[in-house]
Structure 1
């Protein structure tokens, strides 16, 4: 049996930061266990390669929800990174800290020390604003913006909205261009920015292709893990603690398999209960969005990405100069807006993209294909959904997909937010700016729909934006939560910590990769303090 100071379960966005900070700041030995393979692959390193990882069976778990009653009985696709870097290796790279009001809500929920003024310096410490600086590189790819995006900014100005907003500043309300995580034209992830430097320091060992079966427990203390690797069952022991960083789906699933969760549900599957806490796997939150596509009579990204000759040209351009659309994200312009002036904070996030595409299914899986004509797309997501779902193990067999239930649109507030979000987006559609460059909608258009039609269309077409969180939420006690926000320790279990997106008490308003890294960094400091480690 091997022994380490800490065992980090999952080499995803959070796990890579944890491995770095626990080893560097705590001078501790760390084992990082990852089920997936290395991220050293062209599809990962090329920014726009995430379209080829959307349904990749090697580096994507390719999960689905259960049939969603309020979404026409559909099972929604939930891609999750099964690779070093986790979902940060397959996502669209948008870097948004969230709104200050998001963290004010966390503080009001009993998370002392997690308000905006507390977490903003943590974000600062993570971000690199030039290629030579340590940290994750946050880029404003001005030279890579498609010329069509100027119409989106002009439409925002026509609507007299704040423009050129800094979504990572103290006042992120308004419209602007999204920052992304790239360095010298390549994807930058927490694996590149934090894990590899930590491994080079000699205190961190990364084990890939290793499926964690369970957390080992003695009495009320987590002692290590059992995992399978290359056909063998192995164990590792943690002197100071096991730190869960398998994400909002993987973390509660492994905890369930370890006998930590709702005792009645676990016993029905033949899993012995070590800690009864029904909150493990509950409180699942995610953003839902729907898009509307339009045919344009000015060139968009489609012209650079549709035909085979165009793809070849852009591929050669990328490898020669790290330039062109392959070096950027499709998500280029958007923002955070209020659907009504009397709201306390923005309730909608918008994405205005200079491309339109179709997703089809073939024998090889899902395919994302740009349209063969000029087109663009507009989409919105309500920022703070009030519906809550859950994650639950379906069988006691490790590595099998859990049951995922979003319970989407189960509240009147969420249904209201869909309608007002579509109406807000319709204001953009109706601007003279966009009318001038638009031929016609490709299908539905919120400007031509009734409220009932908007909601019915959303039920029929909306999908998750891949921001699951909240399933091991932080809180002051075990009555309504799983993790102590003062130490990241699991209530009622010594030596077990969680520091990933599952700990969010409520979903941040925007993209959650940045908040996930923030929780990991702040969490590492709290774990070290809890173990009397040096900072």
Structure 2
């Protein structure tokens, strides 16, 4: 389809920039690119506005986990090494994207992760290069130092609720030989301590709140929700606009530059539906290839995790609130009146980083404690156990596994196939097994014993490596930190170059977690915000010529 045969143009064009997706990258881009008032920006978001109260009170994300109004609710393909299990993949479909439905943990990754990007040819992406953008984005409640900034759009805070269970777990970690770490984003990553969160005064602080609250009043920024991109318009090797649905009708908008920020799953999907990707595979689906770029959709990486669950001896867990109308009402009143208590926090308090083997040059296992235990998570949610309980989960954050995002239809409404290929390497299994044993070692220390009635998953009967492997095959899954499907690199086979321009197509960039050459060792939201901050500067510099 050429521009002359495109659907009717959208009012207000042409634009300097069209941004597809308002998630952890797209909202940052919209805020920064429109900041000086001289650039005309269109931000397209497939989901609705972020006005649900469940988005804004922190513990409400449990309700968003399985709400199709705000969540794409993807499923993976069956995973061969996990008994053919299908892994649920929630992703934000709302202003703010996944930053409006996630667990709000603020972890940047290890400094060496970014040095690896630079050493692999991605000039300008070393830790020294990206640290200023982490600092620029941040409003750190502890104040500024060499690692942290204040005054940025992204609130980063300590959780204020003093909870005896995570306090005991921190003491137990010290008894188990782990060093205390107050700041996983500072001088070192190893150790155990409290996580910081994207919270402010008892409310979630998404990128929509941080970057769009003021920006949406700018006359040069137009934000359109309910607008689902169908394909990018490519003319003579240049991206000139986007075709999208709005109110059930096809519309088109033109721009000097198109920026795809739809996320690790949807960004390669949109490129491929636009004819940018593996030409042979696209042709088989009836999609006319525009540019043969075989790596689009490949290099999918994600952390894996598994939950150990414990029955608690004391009624101090979120289970106890969920199972009691009296406690639920009291917690609701406390939150409504004072913005404090369980509902003002995420329920995820403490954790840390460790190395599965001394040969590792940095941590490859992350841990996180949650003040609840529940039945199996599915697309329909999870039900709290009818007793006091908590979870303590190891996560493997340096996986060998590589997967893919592929199309199964030429219809953009059909969700793509997501294949992770988890636990097909000995190292991935060894690292997770180490994590399970480390979690047990911590919970067996004297400081935790008064709180544990029993281990309910997997149960103390599971001890041998073979039994651990079966537990992994039965219960391990995605930690929902997928990256890599539009890989950044200096080589011609990379999807984007180090300035995030799509190789072979002018006027088109990808800016989101999909550009990471290798997954970072930590939660991916903060790094995605950093990517968009850095990209904004590059885009504006290139626009000035």
Common topology (TM > 0.5): yes
Report the Cα distance in structure 1 between the residues aligned to 2:492 and 2:543, rounded to whole angstroms.
21
Deviations 1:252-275 (CA, angstroms, capped at 9, x unpaired)? 000010000000000001001111
Report the Cα distance in structure 2 between the residues aligned to 1:75 and 1:151, rounded to whole angstroms.
35
Equivalent residue, structure 1, for 2:147:
none
Q: Given the alignment of the two structures, is residue 498 of structure 1 paired with residue 514 of structure 2, yes or no?
A: no
Deviations 1:277-329 (CA, angstroms, capped at 9, x unpaired)? 11100000111100111112123222233212211211121111111111111
Equivalent residue, structure 2, for 1:216:
233
Report the Cα distance in structure 1 between the residues aligned to 2:138 and 2:512, rounded to whole angstroms.
18
Q: Residues 306 and 477 of structure 2 are in contact (CA less than 8 Å); yes or no, is this contact kept in structure 1?
A: yes
CA drift of 1:49 comes to: 0.5
The 5 Å alignment of 1:186-335 reads 186-239=203-256, 241-301=257-317, 302-335=319-352
CA drift of 1:172 comes to: 2.0
Q: Which consecutive unaligned segments of at least 5 residues does structure 2 have?
A: 1-8, 143-149
Partner SS for 2:336: helix
Equivalent residue, structure 1, for 2:57:
46
Equivalent residue, structure 2, for 1:165:
182
For the aligned residue pairs, the C-alpha RMSD in angstroms reads 1.7
TM-score, normalization by structure 1 = 0.95
Greater CA drift, 38-47 or 415-424: 415-424
Q: Residues 169 and 443 of structure 2 are in contact (CA less than 8 Å); yes or no, is this contact kept in structure 1?
A: no
Q: Given the alignment of the two structures, is residue 92 of structure 1 paired with residue 103 of structure 2, yes or no?
A: yes
The 5 Å alignment of 1:381-392 reads 381-392=395-406
Equivalent residue, structure 1, for 2:85:
74
Equivalent residue, structure 2, for 1:378:
392
The 5 Å alignment of 1:368-517 reads 368-445=382-459, 448-479=462-493, 481-485=494-498, 487-517=499-529
Report the Cα distance in structure 1 between the residues aligned to 2:83 and 2:381, rounded to whole angstroms.
23
Partner SS for 1:329: coil
Report the Cα distance in structure 1 between the residues aligned to 2:334 and 2:68, rounded to whole angstroms.
28
| Cα distance, 1:384–1:435 mapped onto 2, change above 3 Å | same
Report the Cα distance in structure 2 between the residues aligned to 1:27 and 1:380, rounded to whole angstroms.
47
Partner SS for 1:369: coil
The 5 Å alignment of 1:5-24 reads 5-24=16-35
Partner SS for 1:408: coil
Which of 126, 140, 154 aligns to 2:171? It is 154
| Cα distance, 1:374–1:282 mapped onto 2, change above 3 Å | same
Q: Residues 392 and 403 of structure 1 are in contact (CA less than 8 Å); yes or no, is this contact kept in structure 2?
A: yes
Partner SS for 1:282: coil
Equivalent residue, structure 1, for 2:535:
523
Report the Cα distance in structure 2 between the residues aligned to 1:165 and 1:381, rounded to whole angstroms.
20
Partner SS for 1:216: strand
Deviations 1:342-376 (CA, angstroms, capped at 9, x unpaired)? 42111100012232222466xxx623332232222
Equivalent residue, structure 2, for 1:107:
118
Deviations 1:406-442 (CA, angstroms, capped at 9, x unpaired)? 1111222212212222222221132222233211111
Report the Cα distance in structure 2 between the residues aligned to 1:14 and 1:37, rounded to whole angstroms.
17
Greater CA drift, 247-256 or 425-434: 425-434
Greater CA drift, 384-393 or 446-455: 446-455
Report the Cα distance in structure 1 between the residues aligned to 2:38 and 2:251, rounded to whole angstroms.
25
Q: Residues 499 and 520 of structure 1 are in contact (CA less than 8 Å); yes or no, is this contact kept in structure 2?
A: yes
CA drift of 1:68 comes to: 0.6
| Cα distance, 1:378–1:447 mapped onto 2, change above 3 Å | farther
Report the Cα distance in structure 2 between the residues aligned to 1:422 and 1:191, rounded to whole angstroms.
36
Which of 139, 145, 150 aligns to 2:157? It is 139
Report the Cα distance in structure 2 between the residues aligned to 1:475 and 1:161, rounded to whole angstroms.
36
| Cα distance, 1:236–1:245 mapped onto 2, change above 3 Å | same
Partner SS for 2:307: strand
CA drift of 1:167 comes to: 1.3
Report the Cα distance in structure 2 between the residues aligned to 1:346 and 1:518, rounded to whole angstroms.
21
Q: Residues 189 and 363 of structure 2 are in contact (CA less than 8 Å); yes or no, is this contact kept in structure 1?
A: no
Q: Residues 306 and 369 of structure 1 are in contact (CA less than 8 Å); yes or no, is this contact kept in structure 2?
A: no
CA drift of 1:497 comes to: 0.4
Partner SS for 2:538: helix
For these two proteins, the number of residue pairs brought into alignment is: 526
Report the Cα distance in structure 2 between the residues aligned to 1:121 and 1:399, rounded to whole angstroms.
39
Report the Cα distance in structure 1 between the residues aligned to 2:130 and 2:153, rounded to whole angstroms.
16
Q: Residues 253 and 281 of structure 1 are in contact (CA less than 8 Å); yes or no, is this contact kept in structure 2?
A: yes
Report the Cα distance in structure 2 between the residues aligned to 1:190 and 1:56, rounded to whole angstroms.
20
CA drift of 1:130 comes to: 4.3
CA drift of 1:477 comes to: 2.1
